[in-house]
Chains A and B, each alone.
Chain A
Amino acid sequence: MSADPDEELVRRVGAGDPAAVRTLVARKLPRILSLAVRMLGDAAEAEDVAQETFVRIWRHASSWRRGNARFDTWIHRVTLNLCYDRLRRRREWVTNDLPDVVDPAPLPDSREETHRVERALQAIAPRQREAIILVYYQEMSNIEAAATLEISVDALESLLSRGRRALQAILARDSVHD
């Protein structure tokens, strides 16, 4: 397994180095936040998840040891688990349909496109959404994404294929309605 680029930084955070804390926040917060925003489709909830993820990092940094996973994989797993807790609370995963309520306010073209993709992502199964977000937006390799989801690479590819097909279908249906 290749070296973990975050290992030394995490060790310094664990030792209570304030500069290392600031570096870690600057390095990881954008990734954690974008993951949570795309998983939840809600910026405010995503911020709460990001804060909770960092609380766990501070708690575990001094005892964190690299096992089979990199630190980045571990924080993705923590963030995804927190997102799942919120999704469970919302009971979102029972529906594969688009939300009934659509914001009636007209949006600029680029914003409208973003909004369409956001809604489509929220409408597919959470496991497919996770796989697409990790590989597409978080730019993880197939091996890292599979490790984060604790599945095989074959299972990851299956999730990705089904997720992309579902997205295509939803977006095509959406554009017909427009």
Chain B
Amino acid sequence: MTKDIEDGPAMDAERFAALAEAYGGDLRRWPEAEREAAAAFAPSEAGQAISRHAGTLDTLLDSYSVQPPGKALHGSILRVADRHLVQRRRQRFWWLGLGLAGIGLAGAVAGLALVTVVTPEAQPDHYVLDANATAFGDAGPDSDTIEEDL
């Protein structure tokens, strides 16, 4: 429906009437691309008749005004907004706390892992040194030697 802007939109009585039927008689509501051509056509006899006809409904539509928002509605919307802001702030603090706790936990785990890797392996609990054990091994009587002595 919209004409080629580069070539300059063509405007005749038929197109002017179609646009007036859709957008009314006020050219400010018309598609931007066609406004200039429409303004050039509007002073013609056909243009004036079409605009007059469309203007009748426009005048009636203009008469339907709406009361602006009252203070009560305005205040109520702002109160709800405040509640949302407070809630969001609390959520942010909560997430921040959770984040810090997470970082702390991650640090503890990393520390534990580091300690495990760096510390030498401990002696097993079940290994009991007895009186015969030396740095060179068991210094108790050699069973083979005892047999030879017999």
A residues engaging B (CB < 8 A)? 16, 18, 21-22, 25, 29-30, 33-34, 37-38, 43, 47, 50-51, 54-55, 58-59, 62, 110, 113-114, 116-118, 121, 132, 135-137, 139, 141-142, 153-154, 157-158, 160-161, 164-165, 167-168, 171
Contact = CB atoms under 8 A, between A and B. Distances in A.
- Determine chain B's interface SS by DSSP, over half rule: helix
Q: Chain B CB within 10 Å — which of A54, A116, A158 has the most?
A: A54
Interface of B: 1-2, 18, 21-24, 29, 31-32, 57, 60-61, 63-69, 73-74, 76-78, 80-82, 84-85, 88-89
B22 A164 contact: yes
**Among B67, B69, B85: residue with most chain A CB under 10 A:** B69
Contact of A47 (B22, B57, B73, B81): B73
Q: Tell me if A's interface is mostly helix, strand, loop or mixed.
A: helix
Contact of A161 (B18, B74, B84): B18
16 contacts: A16-B85, A21-B85, A33-B68, A37-B66, A58-B80, A113-B63, A117-B60, A121-B64, A136-B24, A139-B29, A141-B32, A153-B31, A157-B22, A160-B22, A161-B18, A164-B21
